Amino acid sequence: MSRRLRSPNWSPTHGAWAVRKHDRNIKDDQIKACAHTGGVVGLNGVAPFLSEDSYDISAPTLFQHLDYIVELVGLEHVGLGLDYVPEQNEPNDFGMKLLAEMARRYGADQYPPVDRLAVAGPSVTTPLIEEMIGHGYTDQHIRAILGENWMRVFAVRLVTVRRRRES
């Protein structure tokens, strides 16, 4: 599908399958297809998708996925796709029902039993920025990853929609 798109495609909430082999993450060919359109892969913050440790929502873990995709296709194709929620690292009915349903549908190997759904929220951004700086990312690189890449994609989509409406 990505090859047929004329404007940037995006994959808003994934990790790199090469870093964590989980069905929710995307493989290199999918990442490359998204990048080929000028699009962005948005990194999620759901612990079971990021790490074998179903509670690890740390900046270093998220950075592993981010840096892998940057090395694969370039920093202009990476953004954050975090859910805008407070950190969910305590038992809650919604998270437990969601995990139980996902385990039923897709198997306990992908959704192992846990007592809470660990999801990185906005507070992970400061430690993630520190992680990027520590690995040599410049301020320009970090701004792109934190939002400018998304703005570029949506600006192109806006122009595309306006052209369609005018024709």
Is pLDDT at 97 greater than 70 in this prediction? Answer: yes
Average pLDDT taken over every residue of the chain: 87
Both structure tokens of 114 = 């846990």
Question: Per residue in 129-145, pLDDT tens?
Answer: 999 999 999 999 999 99
Query: Contact 34/45 with Cβ under 8 angstroms?
Result: no
Given this model, what pLDDT does residue 1 score? Answer: 40
Three-class SS state of 60? helix
Question: Per residue in 30-43, pLDDT tens?
Answer: 999 999 999 999 99
Instruction: Among 3.40.120.10, 3.40.50.2300, 3.20.20.140, 3.30.70.270, name the CATH number for the domain at 2-84+121-166.
Output: 3.20.20.140
Identify the burial level of 5 via C-beta atoms within 10 angstroms of its C-beta, where 0-12 means exposed, 13-18 middle and 19 or more buried. Answer: middle
The neighbour count for residue 81, using CB atoms within 10 Å, is 18
Query: Contact 106/23 with Cβ under 8 angstroms?
Result: yes
Rounded CA-CA distance 47/148 in Å is 25
Is pLDDT at 125 greater than 80 in this prediction? Answer: yes
Distance of CA 144 to the CA centre of its chain: 14
Given this model, what pLDDT does residue 6 score? Answer: 63
Look at the pTM and tell me if it is higher than 0.95: no
